Amino acid sequence: MIDFSNFKIIVDTREQHPWEFNKMEKTVAKLDTGDYSLEGLQEFFCIERKGNVSEFANNITEKRFKDVVERLSKVQHAFLLFEFNLEDILRYPVGSTVPKRMWSKLRISPKFILKHINELQLLHNVKILFCGDAANAEKMALALMRKMYELYGQPKSDV
Residue 90 has pLDDT above 60, yes or no: yes
The pLDDT of residue 159 is 45
Residues 117-144 have pLDDT tens digits of 999 999 999 999 999 999 999 999 999 9
Enumerate helices (H) and strands (E) in the chain, giving the number of each. Answer: 5, 6
Where do the structural domains in the chain lie, given as residue ranges? 8-152
What fold, for 8-152? Rossmann fold (3.40.50)
**Residues paired with 81 in a beta bridge:** 49, 129
Q: What percent of the chain has pLDDT over 90?
A: 86
